[in-house]
Structure 1
Amino acid sequence: MAELLFYKKPVALNREEHKNFKFLPVKDFSFTNGINSVPLTGIEFFEASRELPVLFSKDGQDNFFPLALLSLMNNGHKLISDEGEWQGSYVPAFIRRYPFALTEEGTVCFDSEYAQINADQEEGKPLFNEEGENSESLANIVNFLQQFDQSTKATAEFTKKLAELDLFKPFTIQIMTPEKKPLRMEGLYVIDEAKVAKLDDEIVLSLFKTGQLAWVYAHLHSLGALRHLSKKQQEA
């Protein structure tokens, strides 16, 4: 199953057990408190790069994966209000899919601890219709989850190819916090633009045709958002 960072008690959605369940979309993003980054898919690089730095890290199997940096702090971020409303212009899909997710086998699951998905509330959209089939709302949710899953797999192929081309280089962030304390963030990587410029024409053409070259430059463009993020954080 894809990493379930925010899910306290995930359970498989069952059309019999949950046939009367209704769902209200997430408006309170307080569940993201305590994190400073989330995984990102390549197709999101463009939107995210306007205000969020897109960097890379490694998972437990030493595979590279992209992430959106939400703050320049070791823990937490400043992109939600006191009421939990998202203050940024872009919410990563990794966050937007909550409280739902797909297992590796394609089963829809949800966080049973999410308060606004149950059979008792009067408001909300039903997950199943009277015939026990997926409602339009659930069909849209499943479609989004499947697209997210496909994008995640395509992104893994992208980072694998870049790793094989040896295009990643370590990147360390060093800043002075508003409290005048030095902060050093390590374990991050960026794409080496100089190495990209030296790639063979055939490889560049391949990256261009698959759309992956655009992802490379969207990532490089996003590094300018580090300054924006730092300023916004100090203002907060």
Structure 2
Amino acid sequence: MAELMFYQQPIVLNRETNKDLCFTATSDYGFSKGVNSVPLTGIEFFEASRDLPVLFSKDEEGNYFPIVLLSLRGDGHEQIGAEGEWTGNYIPAFIRRYPFALTEGKDLCYDSTAAGFSEEGDRLFDDEGKNTETLDSIITFLTDFDAQHQLTREFCSELSELSMFKPFMLQVMTVDKSALRLDGLFIIDEDKLGDLDNEKVGAWFRKGFLAWIYAHMHSLGSLNRLSDKL
């Protein structure tokens, strides 16, 4: 999974060299316009499933991970308007966290090419070099995101161990009657879900995994909404 999908020049935030750096949040999500899906954490399945399909893909190591499908096109999506404003109902956290991210070592990095950074706006450090409320809020969001990402990896790992994923072939007709096919997608096998023993069902219920599974299944109905936009 491309953890820094949108980041052109990510650098680690430094309280010395970046002591005067300010950040102004923007509602321009145009940086995401070239993709048709992004990774999703399990806790987001509920909100996303109301309007967007939640599916699964595989990374280069063969590990499954959930994605939210933003479009049935192969080269972009229709969730943003002409000015980069988000026109859909749910903005995935993977997109909302930009231009900040945590490294594997838990250092805070940011895309130095992103709009919003200057010497005017909300300061990230105060005059004593300590974190401002703005920076603490960013760190809290990223820390929560990473925690949910780890839990989602555990969720996918448990499903994979039980061979719960099955390939999902998605082929739709565009308005000009041409066939569009998206490969490399997976869904949870509902038949194998019904074969789970009571102990596993109880464990997944307590972890919240069972609810995530049903949110994923519910989301598949949103494929029709995306096909209407082709």
List per-residue Cα deviations over 1:9-44 (Å, max 9, x = no partner).
000000111111111113111101110000000000
Query: Helix, strand or coil: the match of 1:187?
Result: coil
- 1:169 matched residue in structure 2: 166
Partner of 1:7: 7
Aligned twin of 1:102: 102
User: Does residue 194 of structure 1 match 2:191?
Assistant: yes
Task: Give, as a single letter, the amino acid of the residue that structure 1 aligns with 2:49.
Answer: S
CA RMSD after TM alignment: 1.1
1:76 corresponds to:
76
Counterpart for residue 117 of structure 1: 117
Q: What displacement does 1:129 show? A: 1.1
Q: Residue 117 of structure 1 aligns to which amino acid in structure 2?
A: F
CA contact (8 A) 1:52 1:226 kept: yes
Is 1:230–2:230 an aligned residue pair? Answer: no
Cross-structure match for 1:23: 23
Deviations for 1:104-138, whole angstroms, at most 9, x for unmatched residues? 0000000000131122xx3x211011111000010
**Letter of the structure 1 residue corresponding to residue 218 of structure 2:** H
Alignment length (residue pairs)? 230
Aligned partners of 1:51, 1:187: CA distance in 2, in Å?
21
Structure 2 CA distance for aligned equivalents of residues 84 and 7 of structure 1? 17
What is the distance in 2 between the residues matched to 1:202 and 1:153? 23
Secondary structure at the counterpart of residue 109 of structure 2: strand
Using the aligned pairs only, state the percent identity.
55
Deviation beyond 6 Å, 4+ runs, structure 1: none
Q: Does residue 87 in structure 1 map to residue 84 in structure 2?
A: no
Letter paired with 2:183? E
CA–CA distance in 2 between the matches of 1:179 and 1:126?
51
Q: Equivalent residues in 2 for 1:148-227 (5 A)?
A: 148-227=145-224
What is residue 50 of structure 1 aligned with on the other side?
50
CA–CA distance in structure 2, aligned partners of residues 151 and 178 of structure 1: 38
Structure 2: stretches of 5+ with no match in the other structure: none
Q: 1:69 to 1:2 in 2, by over 3 A?
A: closer
Task: Check the 8 A contact 1:2/1:104 in 2, yes or no.
Answer: no
- Which one-letter code corresponds to 1:74 in the other structure? G
Partners of 1:22 and 1:117 within 8 A in 2: yes
Q: Say if 2:159 is the partner of 1:137.
A: no
1:35–1:75 Cα contact (<8 Å) kept = yes
Alignment partner of 2:168: what SS?
Answer: strand
Question: C-alpha distance in 2, partners of 1:170/1:115?
Answer: 39
Deviation at 1:161, TM superposition (A): 0.1
**Quick one: which amino acid aligns to residue 108 of structure 1?**
L
